[in-house]
Amino acid sequence: MRNTYPTFQKDHLKDIEQYAADVLSGKRPANKYERLAVERESRDLERAGTPEFPYYFDVEAVNKVIRFIETFNHVKGKWARAKGQESLIALSPWQKWITAQVFGWKHITTKRRRFRTAFTLVPRKNGKSTWVAPIGLYMLANDDEPAAEVFCGATTQKQANEVFSPAKKMATKQPIFRRRFSIELFAQQIERTTDGGRFERLIGNPGDGGSPSCYLCDEYHEHDDDDQRDTMITGMGAREQPLEWIISTAGANWFGPCGQYQKECQEILEGTRTDETVFAMIYTIDKDDDWQTEAALIKANPNYGVSVEKEFLLNQLGKAKQSARKQNAFKTKHLNLWVGARESWLNLEDWKRWADPELSIEQFIGEECTKGVDLSESDDLTADVSCFTKEIAGKTHYYFFPRTYVTEKKAEEIDIYRDWIDQDALIMCEGSSIDYDEVENAIEHDNEEHFVTGLFYDPAGAAPIAQRVHNKTAIEPIKVAQNYTNFSPAMREFGNLLGQGRIHHTGCPVLTWCLGNVIAKETMDGKYIRPVKEHKDNKIDTAVAMLQSFIGAWTPDEEDGSNQEFLEL
């Protein structure tokens, strides 16, 4: 039995309590993290008033915000065409619940808001701009913050306008709001003339300067780095209760800033990371859910049948079922699933399922292996991957151990590279070029510990290093050009073996990322595929090296024929 809040005005209490009760009872189909967020709130209610929990719930603060939001009119969509009271914003219960968490919890001593960051991941068309735009106006005019500075941040002006433009239109339609709070509307900003407070767009990296009191980060998944966010957070130091609200859908790069911050938020909800100043809510489906069902749509879309029409989503689902090309976009936009490449080769959930962190290359001392090598051009990664095999119940299983190198110069530019270096998943070479002596020495060391039967490489880039290694160790260098003939059979068979549980790996994040970036480019007739990347920043080097090692190690079952017919030596 969950504790309850003090009495709310109107029906806000009923809506907020009912939403939480529906999630906990199962009446509202909720994913793991939605449920964990509500369970966290329930624990907070139980702890409120105890010595070890320095926060209390301010009922009037929540009423104040919700009343403020619901005085504005819809400015786009079907409700914008309505007249009078029917066009006023009416928050859905889930929106009221999240609003209550962000604005209701305060510190007992300071009376300031507990949460400095709110992370909300919700699929498209769930009414986020209509909800967040008036929150921006509230933070400008009614948050008791002198000379408030509210920024709507995005990577492009078009994206920033998704929140700023509705906010400006809402203010335009509310003369009482403008008079009461001394609001003036300008082309580039909304200003509070009494103290110079402003609400404006923020595009890209603004550099230093400013003292933001509120930062609304829209579609965080579009951000390649955290430069904008870091600048905003640094500038908030002089504010008493600044608020950073990140609201986004999932995207293509789980290893980018948004995906990695979502991971941190998931850890907070799971209880493996502690941060009482971060609120998180994630709407998606669970890994075992069938994405092809209406039930999945209901679970992932809290405004299902409200702002996002049932018929629209079912129509999109039907198209995704019929076209493999459209599945990734559907999963990302409407189910909030992170999908690596636009037409990715592998299902990363299958790949992650067979990760074994206890697996170690030391378990294969003295055994044979093949190696795949993919050398970098300019700022690409350099990788070598070892592949071992074991016979289990008459079937060959494959075990992969990657080693990936990056330049110091590139590591300084990309946050996630530095994280992987700290995790020993990525090796940094000093300066602006890869140390190929280090790469060669590592391969030679592996040959001493094991027996490398072949070094499989792309003749377009790795011929010199392959020959030098051969001269020192007698490891046979074998050319594997990155073409359809060589890679198509191996890629198709690798996918089959993965589904059978015959592919084993340590869960290396670099290899996982590269695999997620691999697109299976088809020939015109669709018979053959080869690995390519969608964008220059979507590296696939370690995945290519893994496939090269697999080509050397693959021993097809008798019914599969021989892999030698496609290998151009």
Structural domains of the chain in order of their starting residue, each with its CATH number: 12-282 (3.40.50.300), 309-340 (no CATH), 349-553 (3.30.420.240)
Please report the pLDDT score of residue 322 as a whole number.
85
Q: Is the pLDDT at 557 greater than 70, yes or no?
A: no
Averaged over 121-133, what is the pLDDT?
Answer: 95
pLDDT tens-place string over residues 146-182: 999 999 999 999 999 999 999 999 999 999 999 999 9
pLDDT interval class at 207 (50, 70, 90): confident
One-letter identity of residue 326: K
Pairing of strands 55-57, 278-282: unpaired
Pairing of strands 278-282, 117-121: parallel
Please report the pLDDT score of residue 209 as a whole number.
63
CA 421 to CA 66: how far, in whole Å? Answer: 45
Instruction: Give the rounded percent of residues in the chain with a pLDDT score beyond 70.
Output: 92
Do residues 455 and 443 touch, judged by C-beta distance below 8 A? Answer: yes
| Among 549, 547, 555, residue whose Cα is nearest residue 530 | 547
Q: Is the pLDDT at 1 greater than 70, yes or no?
A: no
The per-residue b/e assignment along 336-348, b for 16 or more CB within 10 angstroms, e otherwise, is bbbbbbebbbbeb
pLDDT interval class at 275 (50, 70, 90): very high
Q: Is the pLDDT at 536 greater than 90, yes or no?
A: no
Run of H or E residues at 201: strand 197-203
Averaged over 553-568, what is the pLDDT?
Answer: 55
Please report the pLDDT score of residue 15 as a whole number.
92
Token pair listed for 530: 């080869």
CA 405 to CA 442: how far, in whole Å? Answer: 11
Q: Out of 308-322, 358-372, 486-500, 544-558, pick the least confident.
A: 544-558
Token pair listed for 147: 């000379």
Backbone φ/ψ region at 305: left (φ over 0), alpha (ψ -120 to 50), beta: left
Averaged over 246-262, what is the pLDDT?
Answer: 91
CA 189 to CA 165: how far, in whole Å? Answer: 10
Token pair listed for 337: 């699933």
| Among 356, 272, 328, residue whose Cα is nearest residue 520 | 328
Do residues 245 and 270 touch, judged by C-beta distance below 8 A? Answer: no
- 419 by Cβ neighbours in 10 Å (0-12 / 13-18 / 19+) ranks as middle
Q: How far, CA to CA in Å, does 391 sit from each of 63, 495, 502, 557? A: 65, 19, 10, 12
Query: How does DSSP classify residue 100?
Result: H
